[in-house]
Amino acid sequence: MSYELCKITELIHNCSGLLVGAGAGMGVDSGLPDFRGKDGFWRAYPPLSKLGISFEEMANPRWFSENPELAWGFYGHRYNLYQSTNPHVGYRILNNWVKKFKIPSFVFTSNVDGHFVKSGWDQEILECHGSLMRLQCLKNCGQPVWNSNDTKDHTFEICSDTLTCLSPMPKCPRCESLTRPNILMFSDFYWDCRIHSIQEKQLDQWLQKHGTENLLIMEIGAGLHVPTVRFFCESTWKEFNCNMIRVNPRDSQSPTGVISMPIGALEAISKIEEAM
């Protein structure tokens, strides 16, 4: 491990750009659930356990039409949780590295918690599944996506027994229809992906500018359950023939040439910081 830490610190110091790929494991050390398997999800949401509804079933836009109180109970609870939880210190350490060493940086994350922005990350970011901190009109009336906290209905009272939303559900400022989070769900054909498309274009431009010389990819907490981040990091690593670090305590297996740190996000970032 000591050799790897020396190698990792050298890579960070010398890289032409740092691409951070962050999955659900990045948020676990902040106290957020990762919904790993039905048991993990149902521990976080006992009412859904009683109903036999899995995460994949609940994370479906049809609930906003069929049972909006339950839909906003689930997503309202998550919104409250993300808003009340402080990002762990690892976010700040990453931010300090890129500022201290003047490293051009980009975050590619599947997390919808908005915690990179909340932690003060002011580099570029692609939220590949969207963000729970943004809303869109359920009827796609033409209203542009807006920030959740731009509306007076941005806090939620949730019934702990039924997981139903008791407070007024947020409405579209243009047509006053019900809204939904601006996140990509399962079987989702109506996600407003305009912000995502802008972020995707920015990432492509960033990679063309900073990826051809000495790019470093740092993949953190990206597992195999929803492998979007993991697949993106591996494909980018192959395309640019660059260096890559994989931080994952469970799914640590890596291709030859990738440095693996089989520990949690905060522990890994802290160990690297100590070795700097």
Domains of the chain: 2-275 (3.40.50.1220)
Helices (H) and strands (E) in the chain, counts: 12, 9
Task: Please choose, from the candidates 1, 27, 22, 8, the residue with its C-alpha nearest in 3D space to the C-alpha of residue 216.
Answer: 8
Answer yes or no: are the C-beta atoms of 87 and 119 closer than 8 Å. yes
CA dihedral 118, 120, 126, 131 (to 10 degrees): 10
Question: For position 1, what pLDDT does the model report?
Answer: 63
pLDDT by position in tens, the chain (length 276): 666 999 999 999 999 999 999 999 999 999 998 777 667 788 889 999 999 999 999 999 999 999 999 999 999 999 999 999 999 999 999 999 999 999 999 999 999 999 999 999 988 999 999 999 999 999 999 999 999 876 544 689 999 999 999 999 999 999 999 999 999 999 999 999 999 999 999 999 999 999 988 999 999 999 988 899 999 999 999 999 999 999 999 999 999 999 999 999 999 999 999 999
The pTM (predicted TM-score) of the whole model is 0.95
Q: Spell out the residues 6+ positions from residue 264 whose beta carbon is closer than 8 angstroms to its own.
A: 25, 28, 29, 221, 247, 249
Distance CA 221, CA 263 (A): 9
- Residue 43: the pLDDT is 87
